[in-house]
Amino acid sequence: MVDFYYQPGSSPCRSVIMVAKAVGVQLNKKLLNLQAGEQLTPEFLKINPQHTIPTLVDNGFALWESRAILVYLVEKYGKTDSLYPKCPKKRALINQKLYFDIGTLYQSFANYYYPQVFANAPADPEAFKKIEAAFELLNTFLEGQTYVAGDSLTVADIAILATISSFEVAKFDISKYPNVNKWYQNAKKVTPGWDENWAGCLEFKKYFD
């Protein structure tokens, strides 16, 4: 049994849901109400002392950090290695884009939108510039490319798809970046679990309406 502690609006959680769908793993979803502090209960802290979501528990093995979970699911349950190939160079490119997502792209989303959404802070123009810079980089990476790392769908596409779909519901204009937009339209069609990802996005959208 694979227990999955999550919130549907969270893009890191949504990336795990999509990869689990792609490798055929059924998740026993356990909704955590962060606003109510359910991540701080003694029971959850015993599982994850960092008290973050997503958190996966696979027959007693606990793991958090979404991008680590994505790789674990493919390595343990993938019928092929296509989502995270064993070739060191292919894997290095995927890792590079996963780190770009967590450190630059998703980070720019969190730094700009979360203070507004969760703390009623005013918009920070400097933080918005970091979003634009991240999208410019991604647009450059995708020049002449259908996928973000290599020539087929990988966990890097799925992680970044979860992030980009959050930007869409936050009303960021993705169309200004033609390579990103083209990649996004294709990724939505070819990624297993997209429908559930979008349902989670629509729950998150209420913060921006």
pLDDT tens-place string over residues 43-52? 999 999 999 9
Enumerate residues 6+ apart whose C-beta is below 8 A from 14: 8, 162, 165, 196, 197, 200, 201
Domain boundaries, the chain: 2-77, 88-206
Report residue 15 CA to chain centroid gap: 4
pLDDT at residue 175 in the model = 98
State the pTM of this model. Answer: 0.97
pLDDT of 35 higher than 90: no
Instruction: Report, at the CATH architecture level, how domain 2-77 is classified.
Output: 3-Layer(aba) Sandwich (3.40)
CB 193 within 8 A of CB 17: yes
Active site residues: 10
Q: How far apart are CA 8 and CA 1, in angstroms?
A: 20
Give, rounded to a whole angstrom, the gap between the first and last alpha carbons of the chain: 37
pLDDT value of residue 69: 98
What residue type is 105 in one-letter code?
L
Q: What percent of the chain has pLDDT over 90?
A: 94
pLDDT above 90 (res 106): yes
Burial class (CB in 10 A: 0-12, 13-18, 19+), 201: buried
Tokens 């969270």 correspond to what residue?
10
Does the pLDDT value for residue 1 go beyond 90? no
Question: 88-206, which class in CATH?
Answer: mainly alpha
Q: What does the pLDDT look like over 167-201, one tens digit per residue?
A: 999 999 999 999 999 999 999 999 999 999 999 99
Average pLDDT of span 60-84: 98
Q: What is the reported pLDDT for 207? A: 85
